[in-house]
Each structure stands twice: as structure tokens, then as C-alpha cells.
């Protein structure tokens, strides 16, 4: 029996979306970095087949600092998913040109460029990453009006010292064992809006048992069947209740969110990333 055309087209679209979902998963890290003194965990819950959210985490040589990223591309659907891949690739390539292989394209192992990259401070590194990604999107794809809010941080796992850039993103949160909370607020605009933007870098230090928790706005804007938003107060209460480890934060906040939303249909992607200092 021949399948009706509309059903055939729907089936084809479903297959294509499944392929797109699998490809997009390849843009997320298969594993998170392992480092003595720092524990990482993350989760991404797409509202649709594909997501405009992304996260990444990797180690920078020779310093051993761990860079992690959480981003949210404006809009939803396939267009946002395509730009998610672009933003993630630009950030990774500019933050880790040595490990990613880009440095070999401009001169091999011993170059002045490589020496400058390896001698850059974490603040200089993140500032370069934000500026490069912003200018690339704004200049080459400005007509699309696509941009992304992004939180980037570089943490020294041995000392707990960290620097960060918040490009128009929801404040990441530092939470301690005593329930102390500090917000890491924006230090610059979203990436891709206009070229030649200025991005400042903030700094801090994670003591033992302290965590950085970064997320996308789909978390606090999630709604239950009554239309109530999850909101910042529920998030802070969940952070205080599950602060013991990065894995505990991700699992605890996910469970709290699911219990709150129940059977309500998700309207936005939700991405969570936590980094916990385990020594010091």
C-alpha cells in the first residue's frame, strides 16, 4: 500500500530531524575534562528535536586551566541549531587553537603566534575568544540578526582561581557550603550583535566545596501547568539544597525542575553546567 504524500513527507522530515539531532550531539563534548581538584558535570535538555543551546569544556595547555562555556542562541528551531554549531566551533577554535589543530595551519609547532597564545593570561584568552567570535558573526552574518548570550570561564584546578566573561548571559552563580551565593553578572554584550564590542573579564576564587553553576534562561523561565515560572528563588533554593558536588547540582536541579513542571510542555531548551572545587 502506498503511503499518502503528506504522511511520506512527514516521515521524511522526521528522519531528517533525527539526523540533525545526532549531528548536533557531536558538537557537544563526549566527556568532560578530568582534573585533580575540580569536578565538572553538565546536561542539555532540548525543547525540540534540535537545540539552540550549547555547552563545552576543555583543558588549555600548557597552563592546565579548564575552560567551560554555556551559550544560548537567539530564536529556536533549525536556524538556532545551525548557529549553535557555528558559535560553539568559533569559541573552541579560538580558545584552543593548539589542541584543536588550527595553529598548524599558520606555521607549525614553533611560531611567535604559538608563543603568544601560550603566554596569554586567562583574562586575555577569554577576551580574545569573545572578541573574535563576536566580530566573525557580526561581520559575516550580521544580516541574519542572529546572536548568542554566552558565559565563559577559565578555572585553575590547582588554586581555584578563575576568570570569566559574561556576554549578555543570565548570571552564573557561585554557591558555597554555607549557602553563600554570588552572581557573575554580564561583563559585555551578547556575541554577534555589532562588531568591535568591548568585553571585560571578572575574576574570583573557588574555595573547597564551592561551585560555579551556569545555565540558560530556559531553566528559570520554565513553567508548570498553571503557567507559573520556575524563577530565580526556586533555583537558589535548589542550589543550596544540592551544593555538595557538581553531579549533585546537575541531578538535583534537574529533578527539582521536573517535579515543578510536571506534564507541562517545554517551551525552551535548558542547559546546566557545574564546576565544583574538591580540594584546597
SS3 127: helix
The answer as to whether 5 is a domain residue is no
The helix or strand, by DSSP H or E, that contains position 241, with its residue range, turns out to be helix 231-241
Residue pLDDT, tens place only, 82-112: 899 999 999 998 988 665 544 444 455 555 4
The answer as to whether 16 is a domain residue is no
Q: Which of 14, 78, 72 is nearest to 45 (CA)?
A: 72
For 146, which DSSP code? -
User: Looking at residue 147, which CATH number applies to its domain?
Assistant: 3.60.40.10
pLDDT, position 112? 43
Which is more confidently placed, 56 or 99?
Answer: 56
Identify the domain containing residue 266 by its residue range. Answer: 45-277
The answer as to whether 23 is a domain residue is no
Torsion-angle region of 77 (φ positive above 0: left; ψ -120 to 50: alpha; else: beta):
left
Residue pLDDT, tens place only, 202-224: 999 999 999 999 999 999 999 99
The answer as to whether 39 is a domain residue is no
The answer as to whether 268 is a domain residue is yes
The answer as to whether 6 is a domain residue is no
The answer as to whether 33 is a domain residue is no
Give the integer Cα–Cα distance in Å for 53 and 56. Answer: 11
The answer, yes or no, to whether residue 141 has pLDDT greater than 70, is yes
The answer as to whether 27 is a domain residue is no
Provide the number of structural domains found in the chain.
1
pLDDT grade for 26, boundaries at 50, 70 and 90:
confident
Amino acid at each position: 500500500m502506498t503511503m499518502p504524500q503528506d504522511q511520506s513527507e512527514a516521515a521524511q522530515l522526521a528522519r531528517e530531524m533525527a539526523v540533525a539531532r545526532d549531528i548536533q550531539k557531536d558538537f557537544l563534548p563526549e566527556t568532560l575534562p578530568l582534573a585533580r581538584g575540580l569536578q565538572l558535570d553538565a546536561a542539555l535538555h532540548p525543547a525540540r528535536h534540535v537545540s539552540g543551546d550549547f555547552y563545552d569544556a576543555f583543558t588549555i595547555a600548557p597552563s592546565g586551566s579548564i575552560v567551560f562555556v554555556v551559550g544560548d542562541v537567539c530564536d529556536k528551531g533549525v536556524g538556532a541549531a545551525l548557529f549553535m554549531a557555528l558559535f560553539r566551533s568559533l569559541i573552541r577554535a579560538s580558545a584552543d587553537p593548539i589542541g584543536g589543530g588550527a595553529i598548524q595551519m599558520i606555521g607549525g609547532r614553533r611560531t611567535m603566534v604559538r608563543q603568544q597564545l601560550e603566554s596569554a593570561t586567562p583574562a586575555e584568552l577569554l577576551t580574545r575568544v569573545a572578541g573574535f567570535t563576536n566580530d566573525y558573526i557580526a561581520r559575516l552574518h550580521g544580516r541574519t540578526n542572529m546572536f548568542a548570550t554566552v558565559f565563559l570561564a577559565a578555572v585553575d584546578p590547582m588554586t581555584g582561581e578563575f576568570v570569566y566573561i559574561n556576554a549578555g548571559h543570565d548570571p552564573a552563580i557561585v554557591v558555597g557550603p554555607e549557602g553563600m551565593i554570588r552572581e557573575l553578572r554580564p561583563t559585555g554584550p551578547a556575541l554577534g550583535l555589532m562588531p568591535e564590542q568591548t568585553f571585560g573579564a571578572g575574576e574570583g576564587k573557588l574555595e573547597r566545596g564551592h561551585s560555579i553553576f551556569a545555565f540558560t534562561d530556559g531553566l528559570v523561565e520554565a513553567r508548570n501547568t498553571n503557567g507559573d515560572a520556575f524563577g530565580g528563588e526556586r533555583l537558589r533554593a535548589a542550589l543550596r539544597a544540592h551544593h555538595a558536588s557538581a553531579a549533585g547540582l546537575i541531578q538535583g536541579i534537574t529533578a527539582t525542575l521536573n517535579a515543578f513542571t510536571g506534564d507541562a510542555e517545554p517551551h525552551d531548551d535548558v542547559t546546566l553546567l557545574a564546576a565544583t572545587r574538591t580540594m584546597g
